Amino acid sequence: MSSYLELSARERLAQLFDAGSFTEFLPPKARVISPHLAQLDAPVAFDDGVAVGRACLDGRTVFAAAQEGGFMGGAVGEVHGAKLVGLLRRAIAERAAGVVLLLESGGVRLHEANAGLVAVSEVMRAVLDARNAGVPVIALIGGANGCFGGMGIVARCTNAVIMSEEARLGMSGPEVIETASGVEEFDSRDRALVWRTTGGKHRYLLGDCQELVADKVADFRAAAIATLDRLQVQETALSLAALEAEQDMLARRLDRFGTLEEPMQIWAALGIAEPRSLPLLEAGPFVEQVAAHRIGAN
């Protein structure tokens, strides 16, 4: 029973997909490193913090990427982003059964400035291109660094997001919000508040993620297989109708919850009888308990 959270990117790839099936493109031996970090006298990694390649998931050939949260918080630089884009384009060219992104990232690598920003926007475009070509893209989020900034947007550009309770998904991280808007707005040192606001359970309740699983590699694997099965018989492309439905959902969310001050009030407004009990529930009982209340359940 391996904790997904505690594994490195490469360990996740080795354990999540069929044993020995991951074949890496541009492995560390190729030494495709960041052209920017050396100029800043900063350490580089031989894979620039992301491993990409082909793998089997329950016998099906998929394309996979895993960001390494330990290297610069999984932040996206020029090479890192280009590897993700290349993977998505190759998935289209080879008509892969799907793309599975193991995301863990603070967003754009600030050292690489505009090159990093451009890279992230190219990843977004590539995800939508893959979906448009009929290749489903799913995001797994369960690392200690969460998934923030541009990669938070990338996650929500995919067909489905699978998270653990320990995972976090958002745009600006807690420290950024506190720095910009003050501690009265958001206390980044209040761990419980941070997880209530950005954690997997809240995202699941709000309809921002489609599956909530326990922090186990086997559970992430099972959810990825089930999600890929489900997507085989669905339209993968992002349609105007789907976009408008999403916009409606967001508008309703703002309308219903916009004046509330903390996630627990939102859970109560969703009709959950004992919102205080939610943070203590294991993933399975939690999903059962909130099934009738979460947004996007139907």
Give the nearest distance from C-beta 71 to other proteins in angstroms: 5
Residues 291, 270: contact at Cβ < 8 Å?
no
At 79 the three-state DSSP class reads helix
Asked if 29 interacts with other proteins (CB under 8 A), we say: yes
Residues with Cβ within 8 Å of residue 228, at least 6 apart in sequence: 57, 60, 62, 97, 98, 100, 136, 138
Cβ nearer to other proteins, comparing 8 with 15: 8
Asked if 42 interacts with other proteins (CB under 8 A), we say: yes
Among 15, 27, 153, 236, the residue binding other proteins under the rule CB under 8 A is 27
Residues 55, 22: contact at Cβ < 8 Å?
yes
Cβ nearer to other proteins, comparing 31 with 252: 31
Asked if 28 interacts with other proteins (CB under 8 A), we say: yes
- Identify the helix (H) or strand (E) that includes residue 230: helix 217-232
Asked if 261 interacts with other proteins (CB under 8 A), we say: no
Q: Which of residues 51-110 bind other proteins (CB under 8 A)?
A: 68, 70-71
Interface stretch with other proteins, choices 39-47, 75-83, 191-199, 207-215 (CB under 8 A) = 39-47
Give the nearest distance from C-beta 102 to other proteins in angstroms: 14
Residues 146, 173: contact at Cβ < 8 Å?
yes
Q: Exposure pattern of 49-72 as b/e (b: 16+ CB <10 Å)?
A: bbbbbbbbbeeebbbbbbbbbebb
Cβ nearer to other proteins, comparing 41 with 274: 41
Among 12, 17, 47, 112, the residue binding other proteins under the rule CB under 8 A is 47
Give the nearest distance from C-beta 46 to other proteins in angstroms: 5
Give the nearest distance from C-beta 10 to other proteins in angstroms: 8
User: Site size for other proteins, by CB under 8 A?
Assistant: 18
Asked if 38 interacts with other proteins (CB under 8 A), we say: yes
* Rg of the chain, C-alpha, whole Å: 19
How many beta carbons lie within 10 A of that of residue 24, not counting itself?
17
Cβ nearer to other proteins, comparing 6 with 235: 6
Rounded Cα gap, residues 60 and 295, in angstroms: 31
At 161, list the tokens: 């997001």
Q: Please give the residue ranges that form the binding site for other proteins (CB under 8 A).
A: 8-10, 27-29, 31, 38, 41-47, 68, 70-71
